[in-house]
Amino acid sequence: MKSINPATNQVIKEYTPHSAAEAKRIVHAVDQDWQAWRKTTFAERAVMMHKASDILLADRDECAGIITAEMGKLLGEARGEVEKCALACRFYADNAEQLLRDEVIKTDFSRSFVTFEPIGVVLAVMPWNFPFWQVWRFIAPALMAGNAAVLKHASNVFGCAEKIEEVVRKAGFPENIFRSLLIPAREVESVIANPLVKAVTLTGSEAAGSKVAGIAGRELKKSVMELGGSDPFIVLEDADLDDCVKAAVTSRTLNAGQVCVAAKRFIIVESVAAEFEARMKEQMEALVVGDPMDEKSQMAPMARPDLLDEIHDQVERSIAQGGKLVTGGKRLDMPGNFYAPTVISGVKKGNPVYEEETFGPVAALITVKDEAEALAVANDTDFGLGGSVWTADGERGVSIARQIDTGMVFVNSMVVSNPKLPFGGVKRSGFGREMADYGIKEFMNIKTICVQ
């Protein structure tokens, strides 16, 4: 199990996986610490969570350096990711008690209410593309709610997992309330089956989610799945193209396009399609693609060589099946996993970039005649994670947003995540929610108490 720099393909560090017996001992240790942790107060937990936020900000550059070295994100993007983690810590430190307060229900009983109690050890199976944020947006609410956590991180970002574990300990949390399991994917099933593990959350691919959710279902354990997406980006005739195209380019090149909740299918009414395409081509070609440690770079490499091969194959199949290559569509002649920012126009139903998730810097442009067709195309997908609508009429945008089958829709903005807002999808993009009050309640025992 190796950590490899995507910009150079040089090995950073090799890791010896935990054995099945070691993983079992770690889970047992986490459960033992949870027995005491569940009895702590919100105020006690908040002190440590605020400390974790402070440490993340103090160690921001170190954490960002690890992220960039291991998965290739631009250094500036990595700093922003660490800052967002600190924000999540502060949000839940300040709000967990209020979010989990007892809810009084008026019934025929003298007194009846719902209370929220922690369930125990929760397993998080997390991806490499946001190696700090995906973890902290889980463990901040989980620990503040009184649960404990074990992490199976992606095997190419074990350095990030180690640093997160270090931050949790330095913040004063019990030694084993959060632990990282250095295990391959095939060992996840045995961890889920462990009776001490009460639930599982996964962010990752549709295939991984289907498998893990199936195991959790067999074991009768709660699960939350945040999977892939093929988000629609609807551009109407009255959209502000300056803001719209800028957001479109950012959506496809942020994190080298390796974002589940990002615009991927650009659905443009025909009256502005030609201008949108020309502007997007110009801005994509102007991007500086290079060393993610260089502050002048505007797009980074992809995280692994196999991912680069997959996106290139998808582009070639899409062109062979009728798509028009506007720009890009090739590997860049430089060390590392660099791919040219790519635009494909004339995309129709059945084309790979119409039907499949694009997890790289590739934009699929789909021209439609009007709003009704735009909405039909937006919903013509197995995915339902996010989406955006661009129009000068905000109420019109809201009306369209209500008709899009996704977990999130943003009007005149690219999709973003925020600890205050629930995050998650429908259809094959998964189920359950992270963040906000909905997320923190996912792994709680929602207990009814009645008194007569």
Polymer length of the chain: 452
Confirm if 228 and 205 have CB atoms less than 8 A apart: yes
Confirm if 51 and 172 have CB atoms less than 8 A apart: yes
Confirm if 391 and 236 have CB atoms less than 8 A apart: yes
Q: Where are the alpha helices (DSSP H) in 38-132?
A: 42-58, 60-71, 75-99
226 is catalytic: yes
Could you say which of 63, 160, 244, 260 is catalytic? 260
Please give the helix or strand (H or E) that residue 114 lies within, else none.
strand 111-118
Query: CB neighbours of 25 closer than 8 A, spacing ≥ 6?
Result: none
User: And the tokens for 206?
Assistant: 């549709």
Confirm if 387 and 406 have CB atoms less than 8 A apart: yes
Angle at CA of residue 85, ends 80 and 306, nearest 5°: 70
Could you say which of 226, 277, 357, 442 is catalytic? 226
Which of 227, 208, 221, 199 shows the shortest CA–CA distance to 142? 199
Segments of 190-296 assigned E as strands? 197-203, 222-226, 231-235, 263-269
State how far Cα 191 lies from the chain centre.
22
89 is catalytic: no
Confirm if 387 and 412 have CB atoms less than 8 A apart: no
What is the DSSP code (8-state) at residue 421?
Answer: S
What is the DSSP code (8-state) at residue 16?
Answer: P
φ, ψ (nearest 5 deg) of residue 267:
-105, 110
Catalytic residue list: 226, 260
